[in-house]
Amino acid sequence: MPEGDTVWNTARVLQRALAGARLTGSDFRVPQLAATDLTGWTVRESASRGKHLLLRLTAPTDAELPEGADGPEGEGRRDWTLHSHLRMDGAWRAYAPGERWTGRPAHLIRVVLRSAVAVAVGYHLHELALVPTAEEGSLVGHLGPDLLGPDWDPAEAVRRLAAHPDETIGEALLDQRNLAGVGNLYKCELLFLRGVSPWTPVGAVPDLSGTVTLAQRLLAANRGRWTQSTTGSLHRGQTSYVYGRRAQPCRRCGTAIRKEELGERVTYWCPVCQPDRA
């Protein structure tokens, strides 16, 4: 399930596979970019912003630039960003040239980027867009502080959360405008570790600063690996306290873990370790 750490890991995979490479071909399988050809473009870097992936490229001087390239002459207007959002089901995979693509069924492929050293294939990607790098803010500027970014600012994350005191903390943590990177797994696990009911209004959460600090620690601890664990164990069935464990005994008190919808997502919690929503 793509969360902030998963997207961070994905960005690093593409960085290792393509950074500095000149593209020998591209294939976009979405209507808005179907006619786009990135042959000859150079991949500068791959980066993540919350759950968004940003592949930054430079167009060759003789390339026909896409729409939106209006502006002063110079190298800056030749820098572009291929943006994708992984949401719940998107993924990028990197393959060696000639290697079989085994990531997902072929009908889910949305983009293929080829180089002499690697082939990057994007499956079930959302919000694909190619924009001048200087205009990245139009796609990710609304996001809150990135939990795994160099600009992580816990005080700003707390300020944004506190601005909506009547919203449930479970929903507020998933709102990427407050802090970027928390998904449903980390929401559930974080609130269990903090002993807070997901239905608690933000204004009633006793220590928002401690909550966002722990959120960043959880994601950072899983950065660089694909198995997400909040318990310290990487063994199958032992990686979470409450997430995905409906009706199983709480690892702390033995009470059956509950599952219920909160907003548009399900949530898992322990009714004993996390105070009643009242």
Which listed residue (3, 136, 171, 189) is catalytic?
3
User: Residues 108, 29: contact at Cβ < 8 Å?
Assistant: no
Q: Tell me the Ramachandran region of residue 87: left when phi exceeds 0, alpha when psi lies from -120 to 50, beta otherwise.
A: left
What contacts 271, CB < 8 A, 6 or more positions away? 255, 258
Residue 265 annotated as catalytic:
yes
User: Residues 195, 275: contact at Cβ < 8 Å?
Assistant: yes
Residue 136 annotated as catalytic:
no
Q: Which 3 state secondary structure label does DSSP give 84? A: strand
Which listed residue (51, 93, 160, 245) is catalytic?
51
Q: Let me know the angle formed at the C-alpha of 155 by 152 and 161, rounded to the nearest 5 degrees.
A: 100
d(CA 144, CA 176): 6
Which listed residue (12, 29, 259, 265) is catalytic?
265
What contacts 78, CB < 8 A, 6 or more positions away? 58, 59, 60, 61, 63, 65
Residue 3 annotated as catalytic:
yes
d(CA 91, CA 104): 9
Residue 2 annotated as catalytic:
yes
Enzyme catalytic residues:
2-3, 51, 265
